[in-house]
Amino acid sequence: MSIQITANDLGPTLAEEGTAAHREEVERLADAVRGFAPGAAAALVDWAGTEISRLRAWAVARSALMERIADAQAQAEAAATGRGAFRLIA
């Protein structure tokens, strides 16, 4: 499974057309983040819930996924250069 989040993001389209119009993409995102953002994933595909709840869940899920991608890239870069990587936890 591949989730692509680009500069021409799905966000503005979701806000304009609604989550139901992009159900497949929304469900793929929920599947992708379920392991590390389970609440956002559940709210994202709660079709009995409100649209605003799904849009907020989309923002949380997208942010969580982008953070995971950045972490994975930093770890890969550190491994490639032989340098240790660390992550500041506040």
Domain positions in the chain = 11-81
pTM: 0.77
Specify the pLDDT at position 18. Answer: 94
Instruction: Determine the pLDDT at residue 44.
Output: 95
Using alpha carbons, select from 60, 63, 65, 55 the residue that is nearest to residue 11: 55
CA distance 24 to 21: 9
Q: What is the pLDDT of residues 39-72, one digit of tens each?
A: 999 999 999 999 999 999 999 999 999 999 999 9
